[in-house]
Structure 1
Amino acid sequence: MDKRKWLLLGAMMASSLAWAGDVSVRWEKPDDYTDIRPTNESRDGFRDRVCKELGKVFEGYGKKLPDGVKLEITVLDLDLAGDVRPMMHGNNDIRIVKDIYWPRMTINYVLKDASGKVLSEATKEEIKDMNFLMASHIPTGNTSLFYEEKMLDDWFRNKQRSGVFPKLPS
């Protein structure tokens, strides 16, 4: 009985993997972004961590796209939630999070089908969440940047809801 359960589980996992698009992310000149400033990490280490964490968020959307669909994203600018301020005493700065310092990102994207035909594209699309402190959001634990993750999740969900990005077959 246990062997059949494992075989069934493996078959379900294999079938779920069959329906997946591909997402690639390119970070263009991250040193020039509006706000990718650390508080208690090195600048390079923080920048690399932010790009890695948000890159994983974008790449996760491939699981929500049909097989063969490719979404290519170029991040042009990033402004993290909050504002970094120097501390008067000590070496570490502090990030002040207030509703006037909302997260935002500027991207280019191209969405292609399996044959390479462009389904949708945008240049300098502004993604922002001006109500980031008002909405309820339970952190996923996938990233330490939960305001930015929620902003991107809302953007992707809205693209699928409006039909710009295709959904998985039901």
Structure 2
Amino acid sequence: MRRLALAALAGLALAGPAVAEVGVRYVAPERFTDAEDRWGASGRSLRTTLAEMTRIFQELGSRRLGPDESLDVTVLDIDLAGYERPGFGTPGGLRVVQDSTPPRIRFAYALRRGRRVVASGEDTATDINFMLTANPRFATGGLYYERAVLRDWFARRFPGPAGRG
């Protein structure tokens, strides 16, 4: 009897509420405009950038999407905030971020509720005022400017489960 009760509790724990799923894939990432440090070993690798971008999409999706929703994202191009500047006494150079060098992430997306596609399209997340709206001093993790433009894109596209009636 006790085993049956434990098995039932374990089943309930595993069944829990459905969580929104976000799938991310990248098309020809080696051709992206600017997604890695090309000047030396001290900067961000393409693999690191893609892993962090995947984590950002999944984190934002889990906050904004309903439990019965899933989002498929196909990233077509990444242009990180700023530009690389070789030299400056560092082994791999330096990334210079100015208000004229906003991040730009181009992607296609499909939002599903159950098995039905309810929204899809191709979009570019960017913000020419990115330096006014994102403060890296209070950010955790890397790609804080990119995270900020994607956070704003998610907020505009998906008001979140609490905002649905």
Gaps of at least 5 residues in structure 1 are 1-13
The change in CA–CA distance for 1:89 and 1:136 in structure 2 (over 3 A counts) is closer
2:45 aligned with 1:30, yes or no?
Answer: no
CA distance in 1 between counterparts of 2:31 and 2:42 reads: 16
User: How much does 1:86 deviate?
Assistant: 1.3
Runs of 4+, deviation exceeding 6 Å: none
Matched with 1:7 is none
2:65·2:158 contact (CA, 8 Å) conserved in 1?
no
Q: Can you list the C-alpha shifts for 1:10-38, whole angstroms capped at 9, x where unaligned? A: xxxx6xx6152110100111110011131
CA distance in 1 between counterparts of 2:17 and 2:154 reads: 21
Matched with 1:135 is 133
2:93 aligned with 1:99, yes or no?
Answer: no
User: How much does 1:126 deviate?
Assistant: 1.2
Counterpart amino acid of residue 34 in structure 1: T
Number of residues of Structure 1 aligned to a counterpart in Structure 2: 147
The change in CA–CA distance for 1:19 and 1:91 in structure 2 (over 3 A counts) is same
Counterpart amino acid of residue 155 in structure 1: W
2:80·2:103 contact (CA, 8 Å) conserved in 1?
yes
Gaps of at least 5 residues in structure 2 are 1-12
1:28·1:74 contact (CA, 8 Å) conserved in 2?
yes
RMSD across aligned C-alpha pairs, in angstroms?
2.3
Counterpart amino acid of residue 117 in structure 1: R
The change in CA–CA distance for 1:93 and 1:71 in structure 2 (over 3 A counts) is same
TM-score by length of 1: 0.76
TM-score by length of 2: 0.78
